[in-house]
Structure 1
Amino acid sequence: MKNIVVSGYYGQLNTGDEAILRVLIDRLREYERQENEDLNIVVLSSRPHLTSKIYNVESINRKKIWKVIKAIKRCDIFISGGGSLFQNETSNRSLYYYLFQIFVAKLFGKKVFIFSQGIGPIKKWYNVLIFKHIIKLADYITVRDYDSFDLLHRLKLKNKIDLSADPAFLLNPCCEKKVEKLLQIYDIDYRKKTIGIVVRKWKKEKNMTDKIAQIADILIENEGYNVVFIPFQGKWDIIKINEIVSKMNNKPYVLSENFQPHELLGIFSYFDLILGMRLHSLIFAAKMNKKFVGISYDPKIDSFLKIYGLKPVGYVDSFDINNVLLNIQYMLNETKIQKKIEQITLNMIQKAEKSFEILKGALASIKKKKSINVLGVRIDCINFDKAKKKCIDFLSTSSPKAVFTPNVEMIMLSQKDEKFRKILNSGDLNVPDGIGVVWASKYFGEKLYERVTGFDLMMSLMPELEEKKTKVFLLGAKPGVAEKAKENLLKQFKNLKICGVHHGYFSEEENDTVVEIINSSKADVLFVAMGMKKQEEWIYKNKKKLKCKLIMGVGGSFDVLSGEVKRAPVAFQKLGLEWFYRLITQPWRFKRMLALPKFVFIVLKTRIFGGR
């Protein structure tokens, strides 16, 4: 599995940056499908919970530096993705922060991709010097405009620099029916010409609020146009829009700040022209082949307009109302400009694809193992989220899939029992259950970063199984324990379909009857809790007879679920010291615990002297 960290101005509800992230995530998922590879994507965000929910990726708070460093240390490639991250127009702190991330990535020997960035402006000679010496460490650099390309060449970097385009050019709009539904509540008469206006607050603005209000009033009152204000950064833009509207004599339309980027892109198809301050409002207009005029607050606006042979109609600190209105009328009436926008946009889409072709090559150059051999036992290189996804995917297969959870005790037992080792290696998915296995992985060709315990994996599946109305069977433990486990599970997951339970204390003669009970229940998922070795042997022996789609060995999980056994406190779990807690609370297990120091000795011996 390849680990990717994506950094950018994410989680700030900025439509442009979120559009870039949306495209980046979608293309990485596409790569996964095409290349049959597992990618673990971690996004650095100011709102990690929201980012994780929207994009279905792991996300880390970008303000928590130690967590950021830890994520970068674990990754294979660090993507500094999209936007204008390398500039100090807003503050030096922002520039230093993103350069620090690149420095850390290279310190740990990671590949770094500066992905379709807009570079500059960078003020002060010492900031330029710092930027030059860190940016040259990057393995891949693509920039989204000529001015950024020219700036890097003037710095005389030896890196190969490719001219690309903003990834948002590859964003797909939502379907027309959804757009119609989204716009229904506004009751806009599209028989009139409709002008979209995108504004933002800016520190250097002078009388901008009054001027935009006057422009909007003239467009409504004198021209008879619809004027629609479009927020591109949530409540921050809404505050500025409300300020403008309060100074108007006419009532414009104001869109919600809750639209997703692909929804807003679809909405742009209903406009005749966009008057935009924000870069991505102009990109969205171009993408949908709509006419646009720009008011500049940053050189990136000028750079983008230059690509289309245009100039800003004004600057945020000084623009003439009449000049803006004349440019709007000229653009609306000029027929040739439409064709020009279409042609240039097609070229921009092709350029945007270039960055992703380079990214594919970068990912292909990273050689990762799909599994490792730990003292003869196969362990799949997979993290918790990917293991969960794989289990869910197994539900769509036609034949039963077995999931085993090898830990140190099981691996040590397999050293003396070749048949058991063969059984473990027959698993369709073998997850690293235990901190000892994670520790040993670095000596066997691929470092794993987290354990995937059978209990936690089983419990993480429950909400999905409940939602999908998947039938679950509980097999194992002492008589009465599985029933109590079922009772407690249903308290937590009220709609979970547990179609049957059976204890694990049955004879060889009763085996076929138990298999028939499971098959008759039409269970899709079978959790087997018979304890180490016995459950794996039972699954191996009966797998072909069973009609389930997913069979998982879960050890003593039913004892925990029923309340018969107390699980280690969360602190012990996080530190990987559950074994120590069990030793304290169940001292009679000390003989089993001796497997851990023996395992450490054999791993180190194998590492130093080779062989098994």
Structure 2
Amino acid sequence: MKNIVISGYYGQLNTGDEAILRVLVDKLKEYERESNSSLNIVVLSSRPELTSKIYNVESVNRKKIPSVIKAIKRCDIFISGGGSLFQNETSNRSLYYYLFQIFLAKLFGKKVFIFSQGIGPIKRWYNIFLFKHVIKLADYITVRDYDSFDFLHKLKINKKIELSADPAFLLNPCCEQKIQKLLEEYKIDFSKKTIGIVVRKWKKEKDMTDKIAKIADILIESEGYNVVFIPFQGKWDIIKINEIVSKMKNKPYVLSEKLSPHELLGIFKKLDLVVGMRLHALVFAAKMGVRFIGISYDPKIDSFLKIYGFKPAGYVDSFDENNVLISIQYMLYDGKVTKKIDEITKNMTQKAEKAFEILREALNNIKKKDSINILGVRIDCVNFKKAKEKCLEFLNSSSPHVVFTPNVEMIMLAQKDEKFKKILNSSDLNVPDGIGVVWASKYFGEKLYERVTGFDLMMALMPELERQQKRVFLLGAKPSVAEKAKENLLKIFKNLSICGTHHGYFSQEENEKVIELINSSKADVVFVAMGMKRQEEWIYKNKKKLNCKLIMGVGGSLDVLSGEVKRAPKIFQKLGLEWFYRLITQPWRFKRMLALPKFIFVVLKTKLFGGR
């Protein structure tokens, strides 16, 4: 499974940002189906419960830094996928926050994709300096407009930067039937020309509210047009729309703030022209082949209009309602405009798709390792479920397969004993037995998420061995322990076929008789419990003589099964503190326990200074 974290201004019910997220999630799920792979998508959101419900993905509260760190730490690729995250027009805080996420992802060794962003404006030299040195850490960069592209090149970002387009160009409208049903609620007469107006709160308001109200009245009263106000960010836009409507003489149409991006896009299709202060109102209009004019409050509006060869009809700090009215009439009656918009939009759609091609390539390049090398010992990258599946596969083979369960003690012993290291690496499956091995995995190329103990794996196999009527041989521990373990197993698995037992205290001379005993029992599986090192050496030396399908080293498992030794309580197991419980109950094991701090030291030294 490939883990993906998507960051952006999500959960605020901003139509533009939610449109981007919808396209991102849909495209990732499309990739998942086409590539027959498995993706775990995590979205950083202000309202994670809502985001999770709408998009059917995992979501984390972007304001809770520990949760964000945990999500990024677990991911394979981090996608910075909002619209204009890297700017400080609103505040320095948001710029620092999104740069921090990228730095964090690279600190954890993750791939970072700056996805179809609009960059800037970034004010102050120190903010530009910080941005430059963080953004160049990214592995993939695509931007949605020429100005962002030029800005990055002027900063001499030594990366391949791809000019793409806003992902919302790939959003699809809802079905025609649903559009008609929505419009019936508003009773809009589309036999008249219909103008959509999208406004937002702005800092330098002056008398813009009055002027937009005046424009809307003229369009309704003098021109006989329909005017439809369209909110793009929930209650915030509704507040501004209500202010404007309260100053109007005529009654316009006002759409609900609860419409989804798909629904709004479908409604845009019915409009003759859009007057937009929000970038994605212009993107939606262009996407649906609808004429549009922009009122600029931010350079991103200018950048988008420039792509289509247009200029803003007005600016928030120098707004002339007469100029806006002239622009509306020009746009409505210029016969060449629609064709021009359609041609450029076709190109923009292709560019938006190009960004996803790069993303698909990035996902294809994420190769999950089959195994990792921890201090020279191979550990297979399996979780508990996968380890069990592999063992069951071995049962259908024609030759013996060996399963070892390397823990910290075994790995540290292998540092002094090359022969033992060779034996451990000769197995068909090495499962990570112990929280220390799982902890170390993140430093050696592949994070493992759970330990697979020999005892738990052995017990998990029992129901299937019983069902398939496989024959089991228990070898090891002190005399009578294996017999007692057999009795207790049969109390749990009444139909399990335990075809033989033998203690582990036999001489070299007796070895052949033990082999003969196992083979004559026609065992399919042999669980060997002779303790660390001795059992691995015995399996390595004798596996070719055995006629069974699966041989597994299980350490002190027979002692636990027989009742001779009590296993740590569940709470200790879940917390990965079985070693601590053993230390309390068996203090004479203290010297063996020293392997853990030594292991931690060697792992960190190896990571920092190299070597194995």
**Is the 1:47–1:61 Cα contact (8 Å) retained in structure 2?**
yes
What does the per-residue CA deviation read over 1:110-161, in whole Å, with 9 as the maximum and x for residues that have no partner?
A: 2221111111111112211221122122221111111111111111222211
Give the whole-Å Cα distance in 2 for the aligned partners of 1:69 and 1:324: 47
What does the per-residue CA deviation read over 1:243-302, in whole Å, with 9 as the maximum and x for residues that have no partner?
A: 111111111111111112122111111111111100000000000011111110000001
How far has the Cα of 1:96 moved from its partner?
A: 1.2
Change (3 A) 1:202 1:381: farther
Change (3 A) 1:164 1:508: closer
In the alignment, does 2:331 pair up with 1:335? no
**Is the 1:173–1:266 Cα contact (8 Å) retained in structure 2?**
yes
Give the whole-Å Cα distance in 1 for the aligned partners of 2:239 and 2:267: 21
Match of 1:99 in 2: 99
Match of 1:212 in 2: 212
Match of 1:37 in 2: 37
Q: Name the amino acid aligned to 2:2.
A: K
**Is the 2:579–2:593 Cα contact (8 Å) retained in structure 1?**
no
Match of 2:146 in 1: 146
Give the whole-Å Cα distance in 1 for the aligned partners of 2:450 and 2:267: 43
Give the whole-Å Cα distance in 2 for the aligned partners of 1:434 and 1:178: 56
How far has the Cα of 1:202 moved from its partner?
A: 0.8
**Is the 2:198–2:276 Cα contact (8 Å) retained in structure 1?**
yes
Give the whole-Å Cα distance in 1 for the aligned partners of 2:378 and 2:149: 52
How far has the Cα of 1:40 moved from its partner?
A: 2.0
Give the whole-Å Cα distance in 2 for the aligned partners of 1:64 and 1:433: 33
How far has the Cα of 1:352 moved from its partner?
A: 0.8
In the alignment, does 2:123 pair up with 1:123? yes
How far has the Cα of 1:380 moved from its partner?
A: 4.3
Match of 1:350 in 2: 350
Q: Describe the SS at the equivalent of 2:269.
A: helix
**Is the 1:369–1:381 Cα contact (8 Å) retained in structure 2?**
no
Match of 1:7 in 2: 7
Q: Name the amino acid aligned to 1:131.
A: F
In the alignment, does 2:164 pair up with 1:175? no
Give the whole-Å Cα distance in 2 for the aligned partners of 1:353 and 1:146: 17
Match of 1:196 in 2: 196
Give the whole-Å Cα distance in 2 for the aligned partners of 1:577 and 1:237: 54
How far has the Cα of 1:181 moved from its partner?
A: 2.0
What does the per-residue CA deviation read over 1:184-231, in whole Å, with 9 as the maximum and x for residues that have no partner?
A: 221211111111111000111221111111111111122221111111
Give the whole-Å Cα distance in 1 for the aligned partners of 2:18 and 2:369: 32
Q: Name the amino acid aligned to 1:183.
A: L
**Is the 1:74–1:449 Cα contact (8 Å) retained in structure 2?**
no
Q: Describe the SS at the equivalent of 2:300.
A: helix
What does the per-residue CA deviation read over 1:531-583, in whole Å, with 9 as the maximum and x for residues that have no partner?
A: xx9xxxxxxxxxxxxxxxxxxxxxxxxxxxxxxxxx978xx898456999999
**Is the 2:195–2:275 Cα contact (8 Å) retained in structure 1?**
yes
Match of 1:293 in 2: 293
How far has the Cα of 1:6 moved from its partner?
A: 1.4
Give the whole-Å Cα distance in 2 for the aligned partners of 1:432 and 1:273: 63
**Is the 1:407–1:434 Cα contact (8 Å) retained in structure 2?**
no
In the alignment, does 2:17 pair up with 1:17? yes
Give the whole-Å Cα distance in 2 for the aligned partners of 1:444 and 1:98: 28
Give the whole-Å Cα distance in 1 for the aligned partners of 2:25 and 2:294: 29
**Is the 1:273–1:291 Cα contact (8 Å) retained in structure 2?**
yes
Give the whole-Å Cα distance in 2 for the aligned partners of 1:246 and 1:573: 65
How far has the Cα of 1:50 moved from its partner?
A: 1.4
Give the whole-Å Cα distance in 2 for the aligned partners of 1:568 and 1:439: 20
Match of 1:461 in 2: none
Give the whole-Å Cα distance in 2 for the aligned partners of 1:573 and 1:189: 68
Which of 1 and 2 has greater Rg? 2
Give the whole-Å Cα distance in 1 for the aligned partners of 2:202 and 2:124: 22
| TM-score w.r.t. length of structure 1 | 0.67
Q: Describe the SS at the equivalent of 1:104.
A: helix
Q: Describe the SS at the equivalent of 2:6.
A: strand
Change (3 A) 1:224 1:365: same
Change (3 A) 1:175 1:369: farther
Change (3 A) 1:508 1:43: closer
The residue correspondences of 1:344-493 to structure 2 (distance < 5 A) are: 344-369=344-369, 380=382, 438-439=438-439, 446-449=446-449
Q: Name the amino acid aligned to 1:113.
A: F
How far has the Cα of 1:92 moved from its partner?
A: 0.9
In the alignment, does 2:272 pair up with 1:267? no
How far has the Cα of 1:373 moved from its partner?
A: 11
Match of 1:249 in 2: 249
Q: Name the amino acid aligned to 2:24.
A: L
In the alignment, does 2:159 pair up with 1:159? yes
Give the whole-Å Cα distance in 2 for the aligned partners of 1:578 and 1:327: 75
Q: Describe the SS at the equivalent of 2:10.
A: coil
How far has the Cα of 1:162 moved from its partner?
A: 1.3
How far has the Cα of 1:445 moved from its partner?
A: 6.3
How far has the Cα of 1:344 moved from its partner?
A: 0.3
Give the whole-Å Cα distance in 2 for the aligned partners of 1:336 and 1:574: 69
Aligned CA RMSD, in angstroms, stands at 4.6
Q: Name the amino acid aligned to 1:310.
A: F
Q: Percent identity?
A: 74
Q: Name the amino acid aligned to 2:125.
A: W
Match of 1:416 in 2: none
How far has the Cα of 1:303 moved from its partner?
A: 0.6
Match of 2:77 in 1: 77
Match of 1:550 in 2: none
**Is the 2:194–2:273 Cα contact (8 Å) retained in structure 1?**
yes
**Is the 2:381–2:448 Cα contact (8 Å) retained in structure 1?**
no
Change (3 A) 1:580 1:267: farther
**Is the 1:568–1:582 Cα contact (8 Å) retained in structure 2?**
no
Q: Describe the SS at the equivalent of 2:195.
A: strand
What does the per-residue CA deviation read over 1:447-486, in whole Å, with 9 as the maximum and x for residues that have no partner?
A: 2236899xxxxxxxxxxxxxxxxxxxx99xxxxxxxxxxx
| TM-score w.r.t. length of structure 2 | 0.67
More displaced stretch, 7-16 vs 62-71: 62-71
Change (3 A) 1:582 1:252: farther
Match of 1:457 in 2: none
Give the whole-Å Cα distance in 2 for the aligned partners of 1:243 and 1:3: 45
Match of 1:315 in 2: 315
How far has the Cα of 1:600 moved from its partner?
A: 8.2
**Is the 1:273–1:332 Cα contact (8 Å) retained in structure 2?**
yes
Match of 1:46 in 2: 46
The residue correspondences of 1:521-560 to structure 2 (distance < 5 A) are: none
Q: Describe the SS at the equivalent of 2:332.
A: helix
Q: Name the amino acid aligned to 1:250.
A: N
Change (3 A) 1:180 1:581: farther
**Is the 2:380–2:432 Cα contact (8 Å) retained in structure 1?**
no
**Is the 1:88–1:94 Cα contact (8 Å) retained in structure 2?**
yes
How far has the Cα of 1:446 moved from its partner?
A: 3.0
**Is the 1:86–1:119 Cα contact (8 Å) retained in structure 2?**
yes
Change (3 A) 1:451 1:407: farther
In the alignment, does 2:325 pair up with 1:325? yes
**Is the 1:371–1:381 Cα contact (8 Å) retained in structure 2?**
no
How far has the Cα of 1:80 moved from its partner?
A: 1.2
Change (3 A) 1:327 1:451: farther
Change (3 A) 1:43 1:577: farther
**Is the 2:383–2:451 Cα contact (8 Å) retained in structure 1?**
no
Give the whole-Å Cα distance in 1 for the aligned partners of 2:232 and 2:258: 9
Change (3 A) 1:370 1:278: farther
Change (3 A) 1:227 1:433: farther
How far has the Cα of 1:313 moved from its partner?
A: 0.6
Change (3 A) 1:193 1:441: same
Q: Describe the SS at the equivalent of 1:89.
A: coil
Q: In structure 2, list runs of 5 or more residues that go unmatched.
A: 390-402, 410-427, 454-462, 465-490, 498-526, 528-568, 607-612
Q: Name the amino acid aligned to 1:122.
A: I
Give the whole-Å Cα distance in 1 for the aligned partners of 2:141 and 2:493: 62
**Is the 1:407–1:433 Cα contact (8 Å) retained in structure 2?**
no
**Is the 1:408–1:436 Cα contact (8 Å) retained in structure 2?**
no
Q: In structure 1, list runs of 5 or more residues that go unmatched.
A: 392-405, 413-423, 426-430, 454-473, 476-502, 510-532, 534-566
Give the whole-Å Cα distance in 2 for the aligned partners of 1:316 and 1:573: 63
